[in-house]
Amino acid sequence: MPEEYSFSSQQVSTDKPRKKSYLIHIILFVITFITTIIAGMEWTTGKMGPYEFADMVRGLPYALSILFILTFHEFGHYFAAVYHKVKATLPYYIPFPPIPGFFNFGTMGAVIRTKSVIPTNRAMFDIGVAGPLAGFIASTAVLIYGFTHLPSVDYILQIHPDYFTPEYGKEGIHLEFGGTILFEILRALFTNANEFVPPMSEIYHYPYLCVGWFGLFITAMNLVPVGQLDGGHIIFSMFGEKIHEAIASISMIGLAFLGISGLLSSLLNYDFGFGWTGWLLWAFILYFVIKVKHPPVPHFEKLNSTRMILGFVAIIIFILSFSPSPFVITM
């Protein structure tokens, strides 16, 4: 009897923290679902509220699409960690409330935390590459759906009745999303001259195009080959510490260059044709928080050819998804 009691009490003590942890994940998911619905309503309608409950339907395509991409990305990491017997948490979804003056995508992404040491660079590679690959596939699927299900031109006219008039866009702030190689390829493949295809200055009104673009943007940010970003894990695992450090340093210089170019464009009110101030902020975060160098792993071994091919695929995905000027704002 004492042994049975001891086993039972241990189960109770471990189950309580586990249930509490699950509750945190669920609460964050629900809050993020709500904030992304609000973001979806803002992007698709062009209005900042107030909204009625019935208006929430307008935000659902955006919210469901963005949660679909984030979930694919994070569970890619999670299942790879489980495969290598590395303890990891379920995804923590990060909500972002609507704040005037900020780009409101409704979320700052999602993260998982590893709770045990990753023993080899092979395990590090698999965990690092699985998320971007899964997220890229999900983003591409959302974009293809968006391009193959474009609404008629009446859709944009409901939002901007003066869209085709000479006066449209001459007043106020003008926002344009930066193009990426993959976005341009998919647009060319899945649209035709007989339908209205929104320009990059209007795609944020189209939830699937907006979310698909955002998914590529997040994928590219994670694949920057610096420190403990997914791209850093991949390059470190493929080539080792010295080559990773060289590539990471070059990447930091590139981000700083794009960021300074964007800053000068804003200060001088002159369009250099590339750059975004946010890349400079991202470079600061990488340098001071995430760090440029990658920490060592207990055991390093040469990756097999399959993993090396996947690594080069990830590099190609980064090139296809990256935009030097993701947000272009003019007055």
Name every residue whose Cβ is closer than 8 Å to that of residue 313 and which is 6 or more positions away in sequence.
133
As beta bridge partners, residue 317 has: none
Question: What six digits make up the tokens of 281?
Answer: 């902020």
Residue the block writes with tokens 């003019």: 330
Reported as a single tens digit per residue, the pLDDT across 268-326 is: 877 778 899 999 999 999 999 999 999 999 999 999 999 999 999 999 999 999 999 99
Cβ distance 278 to 262 under 8 Å? yes
Reported as a single tens digit per residue, the pLDDT across 196-242 is: 999 999 999 999 999 999 999 999 999 999 999 999 999 999 999 99
Taking the mean position of all CA atoms in its chain, how far away is CA 291?
20
CB atoms within 10 A of CB 314: 24
Reported as a single tens digit per residue, the pLDDT across 73-117 is: 999 999 999 999 999 999 999 999 887 666 788 999 999 999 999
Domains of the chain, residue spans: 8-330
